[in-house]
Amino acid sequence: MTSIVLPATDDLRARARACLDRIGVVIPEGDELYARTPITGEDLFGLKGSGATETEAAIAAAHDTFLTWRTTPAPRRGDVVRRFGDLVREHHDDLAELITLEAGKIRAEAYGEVQEMIDIADYAVGLSRQLYGRVIASERPGHRMAETWHPLGVVGIISAFNFPAAVWSWNTTIALVCGDTVVWKPSEQTPLISLACDRLLARAAEETGAPAGIHHLLIGGQETGEALVDDRRVALVSATGSTRMGRSVGPRVAARFGRSLLELGGNNAAIVTPSADLDLTLSAVVFAVAGTAGQRCTSLRRLIVHRDVVDELLPRLTAAFERLPVGDPFAEDTLVGPLISPAPLEAMREAIARVTQDGGKVLTGGEQVATTAESAAYVRPAVVRIDGHTPVVREETFAPLLYVLTYDSLEEAIALQNDVPQGLSASIFTQDQREAEIFMSAVGADTGLVNVNLGTSGAEVGGAFGGEKETGGGRACGSDAWHAYMRRSTSVVNYSGEVALAQNISFS
């Protein structure tokens, strides 16, 4: 088989430097860590990392700045975010190119991620004038009771490689308008796009007169993240990553009575009913599995198909997977780019080996794609048919691997959907209103995101994003997610001129 021809690493390095130059980023050169591209699997630049000294200084500066930033009127805080959104619009192409270079996303997905940054900036600017409290009826005459929200403090953000810019922007834009300051520890696998985002936000602060200390970037490893987790000055830790990471972060933050917002693993399923529109189902399923090469927390991992339609759907599904163009994410016809590193490829191979030992059958995919770059990891998305129970299905494999199961009743299908430790996203494909309502009800999917006639991946910034169970329970982005970034006070004013106790208590 002919190897797929990939760009030379030198050419990719030049593209990265050109994007950074246009944004105004000065690369902190060093040899403590490396910016790497999964397109060829090779290093682009050596970088200076953030050690214990830089981490302490960033947290201290963020805490000091918070003491004044919290008194800035919220609409004025929104001015910084508005200007940041404008700068992202100006550098849309450069930011998208950096995401493709570092995360391996195809151009359309990278462009979409930057658009998500713009959307959340717009949302946060509007939010800056809508940080509403409420007035509550008091049982005591001549009393007014109200609920108000106040800035929380320093927000520590720990983000993952697969959405290196969007998830940071969800947290940061909302935190800033809520009056918090931010210290960001991005994935070590995506430092360049992180430097670019930090520079644009610094420009926005400069141009709007906001203090420079509202945001700090730390390019570091596990020790840097642990410092954020353990420091009492960090009021909220928002961490995106694996469930294993969350098991460490959550208890450590709780031990010091801090707050955590966890967005962890997903093992998402879609149910295909007998009434489903199979053309629509096919399109939605293919993207949900293969988008970002299966490296989304919302990627589709399990397809639960009714026995009456499985024999019609599976041949079409496998044929669609076999036609998916895999290769250079900069190429216009590519739909599946590289895995971030060889590690998820090995995890995918191991999962396929285990499931086939338990009787599963590989219908298509799973093989590594030959390329001109020996260190890169490209793989064909795989579909595996399962008849029976296998524990592998309950685990998340962060790669384009789809398990197909069958069911007879809707109750059985929902039980299969819910029978995993994770609880992020779920879908049902049906034209039956009753089935859709049951799936969305209290006896339906136990996930934070529930979809009807669309895939498990993809989210709009207006809705709160997050999941239940081992997904962590956190909510970022829209709806009332801003509550996580603020503290609540219930205040009572007595204007009656007399002391009155609640519950009709008399103490005279």
pLDDT, position 1? 57
| Confidence (pTM) | 0.96
Interval 472-508: pLDDT, tens: 999 998 999 999 999 999 999 999 999 888 888 877 6
Domains 9-264+472-489 and 268-464 share a fold: no
Interval 139-153: pLDDT, tens: 999 999 999 999 999
Cα separation values, 139 from 145, 327, 378, 415, Å:
9, 67, 66, 46
Interval 6-49: pLDDT, tens: 999 999 999 999 999 999 999 999 999 999 999 999 999 999 99
CATH of 9-264+472-489, one of 3.40.605.10, 3.40.50.150, 3.40.50.720, 3.30.360.10: 3.40.605.10
pLDDT, position 413? 98
Burial of residue 500, with CB atoms counted within 10 A of its CB: 0-12 exposed, 13-18 middle, 19 or more buried: middle
Interval 358-387: pLDDT, tens: 999 999 999 999 999 999 999 999 999 998
Residue 141 phi, psi dihedral angles, 5° rounding = -65, 145
The whole-chain average pLDDT of the chain stands at 96
Query: Per-residue pLDDT averaged across 127-131, rounded?
Result: 97
Class of domain 268-464 (CATH, top level) = alpha beta
Q: Assess whether pLDDT exceeds 80 at residue 60.
A: yes
CA atoms within a 13 Å half-sphere pointing along the CA-CB vector of 72: 23
C-alpha span between 229 and 464 (Å, rounded): 23
Asked whether 419 and 394 are in contact (CB, 8 A), the reply is yes
Which residues participate in catalysis according to the annotation?
263
What proportion of the chain, given as a percentage, has pLDDT over 70?
A: 100
Q: Which residues lie below 8 Å from residue 14, measured CB to CB, with a gap of 6+? A: none
CA atoms within a 13 Å half-sphere pointing along the CA-CB vector of 21: 6
Query: Per-residue pLDDT averaged across 58-69, rounded?
Result: 98
Domain ranges of the chain: 9-264+472-489, 268-464
Interval 418-467: pLDDT, tens: 999 999 999 999 999 999 999 999 999 999 999 999 999 988 999 999 99
C-alpha span between 11 and 176 (Å, rounded): 37
Cα separation values, 123 from 171, 245, 359, Å:
12, 29, 49
CA atoms within a 13 Å half-sphere pointing along the CA-CB vector of 278: 14
